[in-house]
Amino acid sequence: MNFWETKKLADMNLQEWESLCDGCGRCCLNKLEDEDTGDIYFTNAACKLLDLTNCRCSRYETRLQWVPECIDLKGSNLQKALNWLPSTCAYRLLAEGKELFDWHPLVSGKAESVITAGISIRDYAVSETEVDEADLEDHIIEDFD
C-alpha cells in the first residue's frame, strides 16, 4: 500500500507531505468569499509569487514573509483551510477520507499528468500584479470545480 493510503496527514514526514502537492497551482489562485453565504469563488489571478510556467511558488520557504495571508497547511489548522483548497487538492481529499485522482503524479507516476488532465492553471492564470484588486470579481472562474 502507498503511504497516503495508510498514514494520516498528521503522521506524514516532510517528504511525504510535500509529495502530495500535485503542482497544479490552484491553491495559489486568489479567492473571494461571499460574506452572506460563505461561498468561496476562485479567480484566475494567481499569487504574485507563483511561477506561472511550472506552477510552483518562487519563494516557497519564505512565502509567509512575502505573503502573510498565504495558508501554511502544515503549520496551521488544516480543517480551517479545507474550504480554501480546491476540491481536487490531495490534502483536502485525504482529510475528507477520499482517494487521490488517477491523474495525481503519485498515482500516475508522471509529473505532467496534472497538465494532461487539465488540472494545472498554467494555461489560464494571470499574475495578481496584472489585476486591479477592485476588478478581481471580473476574474472569477465560473466552472472551476
pTM over 0.85: yes
| Per-residue pLDDT reduced to its tens digit, 94-125 | 999 999 999 999 999 999 999 999 999 999 99
| Per-residue pLDDT reduced to its tens digit, 56-71 | 999 999 998 999 988 8
Is residue 144 predicted with pLDDT exceeding 80? no
CB atoms within 10 A of CB 46: 26
Residue (of 9, 13, 6, 5) closest to 82 by Cα position: 9
Residue (of 101, 109, 114) closest to 56 by Cα position: 114
Q: If residue 90 lies in a helix (H) or strand (E), which one and from where to where?
A: helix 90-95
Three-class secondary structure of residue 61 per DSSP: helix
Q: If residue 18 lies in a helix (H) or strand (E), which one and from where to where?
A: helix 14-19
- Supply the pLDDT for residue 41: 93
